[in-house]
């Protein structure tokens, strides 16, 4: 192989309290990957695996010698794009009901879509968004985004 493929397969969150974070994501109704337990957990989300791994173990592998990150927002957001504008409000309510911290209420954005933000129990930010140009396959995987992909 002479190049890095353009794909995202796994997104791993370093967890300070993996059992609590695992309960939160299960509380959203997300199905765990086989082999998940309180030492590692995974959730298949439309073609990308969201993995939960103990923060200290992840740091030892991916950032040896680096200081442990402070709790709270890391400067990274994860997004769940939705099929319809009104789905943003329903998803926001469902996430908060499951224990997410409301960060930004659903609102229409200047870019033409609608979104809201919540934080999981460890402060990881999730954007719940609708964008007119987002297209999904039957699994919910994003297959197009932007004006060129908007279709009729």
Domain boundaries, the chain: 7-63, 73-152
Q: Does domain 7-63 fall into CATH 3.30.460.10?
A: no
Dihedral (CA of 73, 43, 94, 112) sign: positive
User: In the prediction, which pLDDT does 148 show?
Assistant: 55
Q: What is the pLDDT of residues 75-111, one digit of tens each?
A: 899 999 999 999 999 999 999 999 999 999 999 999 9
User: In the prediction, which pLDDT does 146 show?
Assistant: 82
Q: How much is the mean pLDDT over the chain?
A: 92
What are the tokens at 133? 């140009």
- pTM for the model stands at 0.89
d(CA 8, CA 48): 7
Q: Residue 152: which pLDDT band, with cuts at 50, 70 and 90?
A: very low
Give the DSSP H/E element, type plus range, for residue 57. Answer: helix 55-62
The candidate with the shortest Cα–Cα distance to 16, out of 64, 58, 65, 61, is 58
Q: What is the pLDDT of residues 139-149, one digit of tens each?
A: 888 999 986 54
CATH class, domain 73-152, is alpha beta
């Amino acid at each position: 192989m002479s190049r890095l493929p353009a794909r995202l397969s796994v997104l791993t969150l370093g967890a300070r309290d993996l059992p609590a974070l695992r309960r939160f994501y299960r509380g959203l109704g997300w199905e765990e990957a086989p082999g998940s337990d309180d030492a590692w957990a995974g959730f298949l989300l439309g073609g990308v695996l969201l993995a939960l791994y103990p923060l200290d173990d992840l740091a030892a592998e991916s950032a040896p010698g680096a200081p442990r990150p402070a709790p709270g927002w890391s400067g990274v957001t994860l997004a769940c794009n939705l099929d319809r504008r009104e789905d943003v409000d329903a998803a926001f309510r469902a996430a908060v009901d499951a224990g997410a911290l409301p960060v930004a209420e659903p609102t229409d954005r200047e870019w033409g879509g609608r979104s809201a933000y919540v934080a999981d129990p460890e402060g990881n930010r999730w954007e719940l968004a609708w964008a007119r140009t987002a297209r999904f396959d039957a699994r919910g995987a994003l297959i197009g985004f932007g004006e060129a992909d908007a279709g009729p």
